[in-house]
Structure 1
Amino acid sequence: MTHDLLGRHRAVLPDWLALYYEEPLEITHGEGRHVWDAEGNRYLDFFGGILTTMTAHALPEVTKAVSEQAGRIIHSSTLYLNRPMVELAERIAQLSGIPDARVFFTTSGTEANDTALLLATAYRRSNTILAMRNSYHGRSFSAVGITGNSGWSPTSLSPLQTLYVHGGVRTRGPFASLGDAAFIEACVDDLKDLLGHTRPPAALIAEPIQGVGGFTSPPDGLYAAFREVLHERGILWIADEVQTGWGRTGEHFWGWQAHGQNGPPDIMTFAKGIGNGMSVGGVVARSEIMNCLDSNSISTFGGTQVTMAAGLANLTYLLEHDLQGNARRVGGLLIERLRSAAAQVPAVREVRGRGLMIGIEITRPGTDEADPKAAAAVLEAAREGGLLIGKGGGHDTSALRVAPPLSLNVAEAEEGAAILENALRSIQ
């Protein structure tokens, strides 16, 4: 049955539409932190549909909200007043930390970042964008033009002039050998030098923790130091919180808060987890930036009543059950457990991350050379053991990505760590 579906998939969908596993998986249903495939196999889900099933599969509170709203009205577009959209916007504006915030809803993180780029370039009257090496911001024409990861950037054509900045990867590159303070200083000096050779950019866009790049991040405070340089020149800071938002990092509600010494970003984008599987993305910006466009606009599908109802129910559940605190506690236990297991596996170069956002980088033992085949073998072995994880990385996709729903409990964390330990040992 699955083999037949795979043949139909390949006959009608693009060749570049990536599928996991040598024998791709059809997931038919889920509950809590588990999913089942079409053959009836049960898996512990440590990837959540690419960090999108943020709280739990089939969460009753979200399912009920969607069902009740769908029974009233599903969609009307932004041409009409929309109570759930206003209510969710009010809550996100307050949570964002951005003063006098305005919120615009989209259907995805790609579209959110696309909107942020539109706002920044219009506000600053510049089409130059600073982006981080190893970054990923989506699949639209403008987003791939600012993506610093060749594996996810299919064209060099772009409506933007993009300049790439050091700092998103702590343990690789020309400054990797430096201590944290010296690393930040070197990256700031490099940024200043770069700005001395170009016309004034519109903005710097950065993921606090790089998602597709393999859950890499700079030392805390780097973007605060960047912000000081940018602010002096009127350059905006866009924080891409598509993967880091809503408490996933445990220590903070937003990833930018690890770098917030000089205040919040000018623009923040979000998506993925807030809808718990429903298509919700968005942009938060100061009012003068959000309102800088001098023509009309609408969103046909951004902010539909049914997706906003899901987002409201999901956000309420997340806050009332302190899932950020759970990500900090259970994530802390999980990362230490994985570091202990990885210490016995020479192919593991690094276990990194915070909260329930953990990366495991696989290299050829004794070197810094990426080993994507070994990483793929771990992915397959983990599935064999009943665990679904992700992969990524800027060096030939050699990082494993672990990002379970934020309601993960200690027993499930231990179960998943044991399966992953066996999968890592299998490549030795």
Structure 2
Amino acid sequence: MTQPPQETAALHARHQAVLPSWLSLYYERPLELTHGEGRHVWDAEGNRYLDFFGGILTTMTAHALPEVTKAVSEQAGRIIHTSTLYLSRPMVDLAERIVALSGIPDARVFFTTSGTEANDAALLLATTHRRSNQILAMRNSYHGRSFSTVGITGNQSWSPTSLSPLQTLYVHGGVRSRGPYAELSDAAYTAACVADLEDMLQQTAGGVAALIAEPVQGVGGFTMPPDGLYAAFREVLARHGILWISDEVQTGWGRTGDHFWGWQAHAGHGPPDMLTFAKGIGNGMSIGGVVARAEVMNSLSANSISTFGGSPVTMAAGLANLNYLLEHDLQGNARRVGGLLIERLRAVAAGLEFVREVRGRGLMIGIELVRPGTDERSPEAASLVVEAARERGLLVGKGGQGGASLRIAPPMTLTVAEAEEGADLLADALRAAHSTAAAS
């Protein structure tokens, strides 16, 4: 049953009356999404959209995937909640699968309810294990909205306070095409970033606990370093005993196509000491977690539990979703269909002056927009494109410094036909926005 636009407007007014002003909504006329199927969603007014953002990379396989909804329903019919104070077969089952896939030897898993909480737990483990509150983080990074994770977020658009329980040191390397090393070759860029890291470590007062880094910066606009940069960093970190945390909240589970985990593009010196995950594994259910070497995971001397982490229902959903992803080779699909999509978008962008760069890997594609004739980021242009895409029946995201980059991350079951359709719709939206920006 559809509703008239004034009903959506009334819901928006109610939202503003009871929810925080900083809880931002997309679009001048915000959407109320009511149901979905496959790669499509519908709003309360009956409009159908091709979903190229998946609830911020969270609907990883498909909307209303029968295998996941069946697992949720069956588990909810048995028992919904127990907590970590009791043995949980679904939690052990999923933990065993993740440990086997992680690449981390003698690994343990701690489940949380979000990526923020997963990164927060990883920071607790690292600082406890190393007896240090010093953390290395990447410029332009994003790791969550809690007090500790905001303190290691290198993107000012998502860091509302300078207060932090941690001393954070920001290093170069997460944004290949901007900054002081942008004009260097990949090899020279990596060498310069390693030299910067070495120099920074010489300036620190004590032993640094860990480096936390996203293999592809998600909120940062799908920027990434050259392959191998974190492997080169790892060589330096290992000499100092510093832990490496790979934030796989957005890059995990094969979304990048080339690898199951983002860290595997930087695997020259083995896996990270810890990796964090969330978002896509639950296909919309609230799952996050940390995988760590047992020595690190077991370093806490006090008791700890998780009331909702490892919930039987979310674990059942995660296991069903992971099984589907592996059985249908969605990593391979992300590589094939994502490769086609990015080439189509690069061809479209070649004739548009306000597109600075089309970048990405697999089904993580970013399009950075600038003011024509300059290298100055244009969040206004990005907003125009997002609105124009919505008008044409396509949902995309935004990110990057100031929100000047489009983020494209469809469910990983995206078909070639849907990729072609989405590319055509986005091309039309880009051209319309380009004309509007040029005229203003």
Q: Give the aligned partner of residue 262 of structure 1.
A: 269
Q: Which residue of 2 aligns with 1:210?
A: 217
Residue correspondence of structure 1 range 76-155 to structure 2 within 5 A: 76-155=82-161
Per-residue deviation, 1:366:
2.4
Q: Which residue of 2 aligns with 1:238?
A: 245
**Counterpart residue type for residue 169 of structure 1:** V
Partner of 2:184: 178
Which residue, 352, 359, 367 being the options, matches 1:360?
367
Task: Give the distance between the partners of 2:313 and 2:212, measured in 1 at CA.
Answer: 30
User: What is the distance in 2 between the residues matched to 1:112 and 1:42?
Assistant: 34
What is the correspondence of 1:283-322 to structure 2 with a 5 Å cutoff? 283-322=290-329
Distance of 1:140 and 1:151 partners within structure 2: 15
Deviations 1:351-396, CA, capped at 9 Å, x for gaps: 00010000000001222101111110000000000000000002x2
Match among 20, 23, 35 for residue 17 of structure 1: 23
Q: Which residue number in structure 2 is paired with residue 424 of structure 1? A: 430
SS at match of 2:124: helix
Alpha-carbon offset, residue 427 of structure 1: 2.1
Aligned equivalents of 2:127, 2:233: Cα separation in 1: 19
Work out the CA distance in 2 between the residues paired with 1:122 and 1:371. Answer: 42
Secondary structure of residue in 1 paired with 2:25: coil
Q: Deviations over 1:321-370 (max 9, x none)?
A: 00000000000000000000010111000000010000000001222101
Q: SS state of the match for residue 267, structure 2?
A: helix
Amino acid in the other structure paired with 1:51: L
Which sections of structure 1, spanning at least 5 residues, go unmatched? none
1:156-171 equivalences under 5 Å are: 156-171=162-177
Q: Summarize deviations over 1:394-424 as a string: whole Å, max 9, x none.
A: 2x21000000000000000000000000011
Normalised by the size of structure 1, how large is the TM-score? 0.99
Could you tell me which residue of structure 2 aligns to residue 220 of structure 1? 227
Match of 1:297, as an amino acid?
A: S
Show the counterpart of 2:40: 34
Provide the residue aligned with 1:338 in structure 2: 345
Structure 2 equivalent of residue 349 of structure 1:
356
Is 1:250 aligned to 2:260, yes or no? no
Provide structure 2 residue ranges, at least 5 long, that are not aligned to the other structure.
Answer: 1-6, 435-440
Q: Deviations over 1:159-194 (max 9, x none)?
A: 000000000000000000100000000000000000
How far 1:126 sits from its partner (Å)?
0.2
> Residue type matched to 2:293 in 1?
R
Work out which of the residue numbers 334, 339, 342 in structure 2 matches 1:327: 334
- Give me the CA root mean square deviation: 0.4
Which residue of 1 is the match for residue 201 of structure 2? 195
In structure 2, how many angstroms separate the alpha carbons of the residues matched to 1:315 and 1:201? 35
1:181-223 deviation digits (Å, cap 9, x = unpaired): 0000000000000000002210000000000000000000000
Q: Deviations over 1:104-136 (max 9, x none)?
A: 000000000000000000000000000000000
- Determine which of 335, 356, 376 is the counterpart of 2:383: 376
Q: Matches of 2:373 and 2:244 in 1, distance apart?
A: 38
Q: Which amino acid aligns with 1:310?
A: A
> SS at 1:71's partner residue?
helix
Counterpart of 2:309 in 1: which secondary structure? Answer: coil
Separation in structure 2 between the aligned mates of residue 200 and residue 304 of structure 1, nearest angstrom: 37
Residue 62, structure 1, aligned to residue 105, structure 2: no
* Residues 21-77 of structure 1 deviation map (CA, whole Å, 9 limit, x = unaligned): 011000000000000000000000000000000000000000000000000001100
* TM-score normalised by structure 2 residue count: 0.97
User: What percent of counterpart residues are identical?
Assistant: 79
Aligned partner letter, 2:71 = A
Q: Which runs of 4+ in 1 moved over 3 A?
A: none
For the residues of structure 2 that align with 1:427 and 1:409, how far apart are their CA atoms? 26
Q: For 1:427, what is the secondary structure of its paired residue? A: helix
Q: Which residue of 2 aligns with 1:392?
A: 399
Instruction: Report the secondary structure of 1:167's partner residue.
Output: coil
